[in-house]
């Protein structure tokens, strides 16, 4: 249906759509509501987090001055976004990936947390090596030989640049690297 | 004449073997990053920032800026050959560039894009060379109230002039300010928002946030859909342009330069908006607007010229005022701070060697990129055949190790992972990511200037209207806040009249 048709047909008029059954779907629209709600929570945390600090001391704004105003701005903007969402007839929702895409993202995020934990125990270089292999072979299902070559090149590059050139002392594991 | 003398000194600095090497490395990395879909120049600049700690600050900035404008050249390749913009500023190039490639004219599209980018880049850079000292001299009159308003303008302008919802942009800016508030108060020395976590006492650094939001976030998003792209072929002889092509594109290049430069100088806009506006302007000015979207060479010329002109134009507010004009210049500004250089109007007088060497290096970089993109275009096209899957783990690994290298703390690596997930969710919820970076970079200047201003005025807000320059800046800030409201009302009226 073209835009012109939507405009002329009362069923598709924005006002009608707000009062019609479709409105329920719009009210569930999470594209704007979720960020607004998250911002309300963050604003409250910010305001609460500085509540024990001075807002003003003699002629100078205190350490709580800016955080309070920032929290207030966050609250105002969140409410504005909520109102805007309620008034609009948009039913947009985030474009989430399919099942396989979601699994890949979750598994990669898990791998990122794993590299963080493992770095302290087996060293950052070894953890990185395991992570790259996990990503290439386990998640992306790439062929063994190119994956091994890619892993070795990447790890060698990281070792050469950060340890060899920049002399960064990366967390070491039992293998001494 | 004095400026030319400074520029000559800059060339002497830029032409040293070390700096030349880093101009080349920066441009090469920018070209590769721009050509590969999935990671943009800002992300690459943030990820590779730790690598520059082993070289002098000027050399580091030369390399990072090379990535910034190199990305503008590289983005064309993917847009034209596989119909996927390598970075956001090449979106409009994909519209007509890919159509041209399907018609067997990929070479002409790549060629005009490289020439346009070169012309736009050099012309814009020349304007930067002459205008930055003037603005910088004027900005020496600025005091705390003006700095507070300038920093505020940097954030509000992003919301006002950027594409998408202004409320969302401002909200993300506020989120950035909240992050910047974490840590020890700079004036009183008490802990703020640390909630007893020792590691938060030093605050949250810019690098983990930028690498997480741009680098890891984009990599996670690219995991959603794994496509093997079909790369259209191009040959060296196809790069030659006909006299007809020149006649069609020469004014498009000039118009693209003008649009790109002016858009680039406005805080909060950047190359993406510049290329969109240049495309729209060219559509109006073209003798054959009916060809737009079907393979118009002048459309490619205008969009590509504008994005590079804007990338260099954005340096004016950054160098003269210390206010980043775009996402990439925000990263560049953060690099200045990390390297121990104080940005702002004094930068040109206190660090003339750095500024002029950087500007001179950009002329050299543009020449290098023209060479890389004209005779070497088929070579770059072959790079696109490497599956992105093999690069993705490397990007993540370098990001995490790089963050560790800057802070020597696994806590920062954890912050990067957290912001990587936040960055991915921001992409999903269509929240712009530039304001968060701008806010984190500008927050210390904003807060300190506000507190200094109120100290000077014994708490009176009148200080912001009593000084003429600050009054004008306040008006600009209010205008940037009012613009989205005006735009919203106008759109609503238009929609209503359309419905009737």
pLDDT tens digits, one per residue of B418-466 = 999 999 999 999 898 888 888 888 898 899 999 999 988 888 889 999 9
Provide mean pLDDT across the span A89-102.
Answer: 82
CB B33 within 8 A of CB B73: no
Interface test with A, best of B194, B405, B454, B497 (most A CBs within 10 A): B405
Provide mean pLDDT across the span A129-154.
Answer: 94
| Rounded distance between C-alpha atoms, residue B468 and residue B64, angstroms | 37
Interface test with B, best of A16, A29, A51, A61 (most B CBs within 10 A): A61
| CB within 8 Å: B54 and A49 | no
Q: How far is B366 from chain A (nearest CA, A)?
A: 27
B71, β-bridge pairs: none
What pLDDT shows up at residue B38?
64
**Does A133 score more than 90 pLDDT?**
yes
Q: Which two tokens stand for residue B39?
A: 């990671």
Name the residue facing B401 among A81, A139, A158 (closest C-beta): A158
Provide mean pLDDT across the span B138-142.
Answer: 85
For chain B, what is the domain count? 1
A158 CB neighbours in chain B (<8 A) are 397-398, 401
B184, β-bridge pairs: B191
B181 CB neighbours in chain A (<8 A) are 46, 50, 66-67, 70
Work out whether the CA dihedral A61, A64, A66, A69 comes out positive or negative: negative
Residue B116 vs residue B86, higher pLDDT: B116
The string of pLDDT tens digits covering residues B158-203 is 777 666 788 888 999 999 999 999 999 988 889 999 998 999 998 9
The per-residue pLDDT of chain B, averaged, comes to: 87
The string of pLDDT tens digits covering residues B254-288 is 999 999 999 888 876 778 888 888 998 999 888 88
CB A42 within 8 A of CB B175: yes
- B196 shares contact with chain A (CB less than 8 Å): no
**Does A83 score more than 80 pLDDT?**
yes
Q: What are phi and psi of B266, to 5 degrees?
A: -80, 130
A82 and A103 inside one domain: no
A83 and A32 inside one domain: yes
| Rounded distance between C-alpha atoms, residue A158 and residue B115, angstroms | 36
- B216 shares contact with chain A (CB less than 8 Å): yes
A41, β-bridge pairs: none
Provide mean pLDDT across the span B310-339.
Answer: 85
A46 CB neighbours in chain B (<8 A) are 178, 181, 193
What pLDDT shows up at residue B252?
93
| Rounded distance between C-alpha atoms, residue A114 and residue B490, angstroms | 51
A172 occurs within a structural domain: no
A139 and A109 inside one domain: yes
Identify the domain containing residue B151 by its residue range: 2-499
A121 and A67 inside one domain: no
Distance of CA A53 to the CA centre of its chain: 30
A82 and A111 inside one domain: no
For chain A, what is the domain count? 2
**Does A7 score more than 50 pLDDT?**
no
Of A87, A108, A137, the position where a domain reaches its end is A87
Of A40, A64, A87, the position where a domain reaches its end is A87
A62 and A108 inside one domain: no
Name the residue facing B417 among A54, A116, A154 (closest C-beta): A116
- B174 shares contact with chain A (CB less than 8 Å): yes
**Does B40 score more than 60 pLDDT?**
yes
The string of pLDDT tens digits covering residues B373-395 is 887 777 777 777 778 888 889 88
Of A54, A87, A120, the position where a domain reaches its end is A87
A80 and A130 inside one domain: no
| Rounded distance between C-alpha atoms, residue B218 and residue B223, angstroms | 9
Identify the domain containing residue A123 by its residue range: 99-165
- B181 shares contact with chain A (CB less than 8 Å): yes
A139 occurs within a structural domain: yes
Q: How far is B440 from chain A (nearest CA, A)?
A: 13
A111 and A78 inside one domain: no
- In chain A, at which residue ranges do the beta strands (DSSP E only) sit? 56-57, 60-61
A9 occurs within a structural domain: no
């Amino acid at each position: 249906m073209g835009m012109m048709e939507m405009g002329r047909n009362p069923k598709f008029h924005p006002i009608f759509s707000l009062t019609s059954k479709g409105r329920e779907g719009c009210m569930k629209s999470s594209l704007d509501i979720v960020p607004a709600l998250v911002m309300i929570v963050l604003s409250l945390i910010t305001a609460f987090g500085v509540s024990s600090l001075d807002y003003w001391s003699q002629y100078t704004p205190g350490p709580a001055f800016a955080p309070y105003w920032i929290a207030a701005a966050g609250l105002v903007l969140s409410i504005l976004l909520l109102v805007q969402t309620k008034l609009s007839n948009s039913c947009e929702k985030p474009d989430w990936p399919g099942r396989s895409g979601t699994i890949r993202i979750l598994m990669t995020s898990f791998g990122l947390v794993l590299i963080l934990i493992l770095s302290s125990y087996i060293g950052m270089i070894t953890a990185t090596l395991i992570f790259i292999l996990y990503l290439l072979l386990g998640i992306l299902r790439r062929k063994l030989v190119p994956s091994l070559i890619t892993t070795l090149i990447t790890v060698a590059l990281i070792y050469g640049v950060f340890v060899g050139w920049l002399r960064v002392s990366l967390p070491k594991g039992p293998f001494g690297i | 004449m004095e400026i030319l003398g400074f520029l000559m000194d800059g060339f002497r600095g830029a032409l040293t073997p070390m700096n030349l090497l880093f101009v080349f490395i920066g441009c090469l990395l920018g070209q590769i990053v721009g050509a590969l879909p999935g990671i943009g120049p800002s992300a690459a600049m943030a990820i590779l920032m730790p690598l520059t700690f082993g070289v002098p600050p000027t050399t580091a900035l030369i390399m990072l800026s090379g990535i910034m404008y190199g990305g503008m050249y590289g983005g064309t390749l993917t847009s034209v050959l596989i119909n996927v913009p390598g970075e956001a500023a090449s979106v409009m190039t994909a519209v007509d560039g890919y159509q041209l490639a399907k018609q067997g004219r990929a070479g002409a599209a790549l060629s005009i894009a490289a020439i346009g980018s070169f012309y736009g880049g050099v012309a814009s850079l020349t304007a930067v060379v002459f205008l930055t000292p003037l603005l910088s001299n004027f900005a020496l009159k600025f005091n705390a109230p003006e700095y507070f308003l300038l920093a505020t303008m940097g954030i509000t302008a992003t919301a006002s002039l950027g594409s998408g919802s202004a409320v969302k942009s401002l909200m993300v800016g506020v989120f950035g300010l909240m992050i910047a508030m974490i840590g020890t108060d700079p004036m009183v020395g008490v802990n703020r928002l640390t909630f007893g976590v020792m590691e938060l006492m030093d605050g949250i650094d810019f690098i983990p946030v930028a690498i997480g939001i741009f680098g890891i976030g984009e990599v996670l998003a690219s995991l959603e859909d794994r496509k093997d792209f079909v790369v259209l072929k191009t040959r060296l002889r196809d790069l030659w342009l006909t006299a007809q092509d020149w006649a069609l594109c020469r004014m498009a290049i000039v118009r693209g330069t003008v649009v790109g430069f002016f858009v680039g100088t406005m805080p909060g806009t950047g190359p993406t908006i510049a290329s969109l506006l240049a495309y729209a302007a060219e559509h109006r000015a073209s003798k054959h607007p009916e060809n737009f979207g079907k393979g118009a060479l002048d459309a490619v010329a205008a969009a590509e010229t504008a994005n590079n002109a804007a990338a260099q134009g954005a340096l004016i507010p950054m160098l003269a005022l210390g206010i980043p004009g775009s996402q990439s210049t925000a990263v560049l500004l953060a690099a200045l701070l990390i390297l121990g250089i104080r940005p702002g109007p004094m930068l040109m007088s206190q660090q003339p060697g750095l500024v002029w060497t950087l500007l001179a290096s950009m002329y050299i970089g543009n020449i290098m990129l023209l060479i890389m993109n004209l005779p070497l275009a088929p070579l770059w096209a072959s790079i696109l055949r490497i599956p992105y899957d093999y690069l993705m783990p490397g990007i993540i690994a370098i990001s995490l190790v790089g963050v560790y290298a800057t802070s020597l703390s696994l806590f920062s690596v954890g912050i990067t992972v957290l912001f990587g997930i936040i960055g991915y969710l921001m992409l999903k919820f269509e929240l712009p990511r530039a304001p968060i970076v701008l806010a984190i970079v500008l927050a210390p200047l904003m807060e300190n200037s506000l507190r200094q201003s109120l100290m000077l005025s014994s708490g009176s807000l009148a200080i912001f209207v009593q000084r003429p320059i600050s009054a004008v800046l306040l008006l600009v800030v209010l205008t940037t806040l009012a613009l989205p409201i005006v735009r919203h009302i106008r759109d609503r009226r238009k929609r209503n009249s359309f419905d009737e």
